[in-house]
């Protein structure tokens, strides 16, 4: 199998690349990236004959088309990420977050596309969201990702609505909420929270990649499938998670469906998240305030039952991620809390 990852030099893309290169069924991994942040995150993969880096922009439709035709499966990861960066350059957000995904979805006949959306598209419901909950994005970022997902689903492909991701990567992002709060606890030792009761769902980066590979449903041997079998959600109750149903294979390729991907044990408010971090960094001073508001108004609880029903389960807990981050931050020299993803 030949695979294309757009934005493969980024936070999730580098971890996905690492895991795909380990798989016997993967013949080639093409990574298309413009190295916007001048990152060197792909260097660790250059030893692999399976790996090919292509320097370029996803808005170059001629280049993108050539790469699509070489591959069997595409992960469109390239994006302007987060609402501040999208607000700063809404045109690029539209072109990269939406238009390039639409182009891939409509030019991938006979191929598979697995798209990473964000569950921040649920907006500020304050209630439990399933895949049937209408998307109600409250930012340009959420809007462009939601528009892209529609093209994905309309063309029969798969969308994964990711919770707020945490954990380390070859292209480390400190601006993500768990990563950010853990660093503030370690370096600043205090935080002031606005709208401290707003809730979100969280997921470790390696469990995101695990879900992506799980949704590929690649045969490993007769009766079992790489990353766990892919089952019809409607058949959940009658399926043996070993990969067989009454002695018969029960594999299917999910198509035209969205799946929430998060930790069912981690639908937490910002205050609850900080209190969890404080268990490992007791000197962390947490204050709440009503004197100002948080520009990020996301507030929702997410159900992950659908993807759990097709055999995927997370490996890493929120506690695992916090401990991992503390170790990582102690290695980085002269680290501080002045950073941005702009």
Dump pLDDT digits (tens) for 254-307: 578 999 999 999 999 999 999 999 999 999 999 999 888 888 888 899 999 999
Instruction: Give the model's confidence band at 218: pLDDT under 50 very low, under 70 low, under 90 confident, else very high.
Output: low
Helices (H), 89-176: 90-93, 100-106, 140-154
Pairing of strands 199-204, 190-194: unpaired
- Condensed to tens digits (0 to 9), the pLDDT of residues 128-139 reads 999 999 999 888
Nearest of 156, 177, 152, 154 to residue 166 by alpha carbon:
177
Token pair of 110 as six digits: 């006979």
Express each pLDDT in 313-332 by its tens digit. 999 999 999 999 999 999 99
pLDDT at 33 over 90: yes
Element of type H or E holding 181: helix 177-187
Q: How much is the pLDDT for 254?
A: 56
**Mean pLDDT of the region 196-201:** 94
Could you report how far apart the first and last alpha carbons of the chain are, in Å?
A: 35
Q: What is the pLDDT of residue 237?
A: 35
Question: How many CB atoms are closer than 10 A to CB 268?
Answer: 21
How many angstroms separate the Cα of 208 from the Cα of each of 12, 59, 199, 287? Answer: 8, 25, 20, 31
What is the per-residue pLDDT for 182? Answer: 97
Give residue 274's pLDDT: 98
Note the pLDDT of residue 124. Answer: 83
pLDDT of residue 339: 61
pLDDT of residue 138: 86
Of the chain, the percentage scoring pLDDT greater than 90 comes to: 74
- What DSSP character marks residue 273? H
Residue with tokens 């798989």: 23
Confidence class of residue 220 from pLDDT cuts 50, 70 and 90? very low
Average pLDDT score over residue span 174-195? 95
- Domains of the chain and any CATH numbers: 2-217+256-331 (3.40.50.720)
The pLDDT, as a whole number, for residue 38 is 92
CA nearest 93: which of 146, 163, 169, 32? 146
Exposed / middle / buried, residue 101 (Cβ in 10 Å: 0-12, 13-18, 19+)? buried
- The pLDDT assigned to 240 comes to 42
238 burial level (CB within 10 Å; 0-12, 13-18, 19+): exposed
Between strands 301-302 and 128-129, the pairing is parallel
Mean pLDDT of 40-63: 97
Residue 319: both structure tokens together: 């506690």
Question: pLDDT at position 336, please?
Answer: 83
If you average pLDDT over residues 26-51, what whole number do you get? 96
Q: Name residues whose C-beta falls within 8 Å of residue 247's C-beta, 6 or more positions apart in sequence.
A: none
Pairing of strands 2-6, 73-76: parallel
Classify strands 248-249 and 244-245 as parallel, antiparallel or unpaired. Answer: antiparallel
């Amino acid at each position: 199998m030949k695979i294309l990852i757009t934005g493969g030099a980024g936070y999730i893309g580098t971890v996905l690349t690492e895991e795909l290169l380990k798989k016997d069924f993967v013949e080639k991994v093409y990574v298309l990236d413009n190295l916007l942040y001048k990152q060197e995150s792909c260097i660790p993969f250059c030893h692999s004959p399976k790996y090919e880096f292509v320097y370029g922009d996803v808005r170059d439709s001629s280049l993108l088309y050539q790469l699509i035709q070489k591959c069997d499966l595409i992960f469109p990861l390239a994006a302007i990420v987060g609402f501040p960066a999208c607000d700063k350059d809404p045109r690029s957000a539209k072109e990269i977050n939406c238009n390039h995904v639409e182009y891939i979805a409509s030019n991938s006949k006979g191929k598979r596309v697995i798209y990473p959306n964000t569950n921040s598209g649920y907006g500020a419901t304050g209630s439990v969201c399933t895949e049937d909950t209408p998307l109600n994005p409250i930012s340009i970022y959420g809007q462009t990702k939601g528009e892209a997902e529609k093209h994905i689903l309309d063309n029969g492909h798969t969308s994964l609505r990711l919770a707020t991701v945490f954990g380390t990567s070859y292209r480390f992002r400190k601006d993500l909420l768990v990563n950010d709060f853990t660093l503030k606890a370690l370096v600043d030792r205090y935080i002031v929270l606005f709208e401290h009761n707003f809730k979100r769902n969280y997921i470790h980066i390696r469990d995101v990649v695990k879900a992506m590979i799980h949704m590929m449903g690649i045969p490993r041997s007769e009766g079992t499938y790489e990353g766990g079998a892919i089952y019809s959600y409607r058949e959940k109750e009658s399926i043996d998670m070993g990969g067989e149903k009454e002695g018969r294979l029960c594999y299917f390729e999910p198509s035209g469906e969205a799946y929430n991907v998060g930790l069912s044990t981690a639908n937490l408010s910002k205050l609850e998240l900080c209190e969890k971090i404080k268990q490992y960094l007791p000197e962390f001073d947490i204050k709440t305030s009503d004197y100002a508001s948080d520009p990020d108004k996301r507030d929702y609880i997410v159900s992950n039952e659908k993807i759990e029903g097709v055999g995927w389960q997370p490996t890493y807990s929120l506690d695992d991620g916090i401990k991992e981050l503390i170790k990582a931050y102690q290695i980085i020299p002269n680290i501080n809390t002045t950073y941005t993803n702009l």
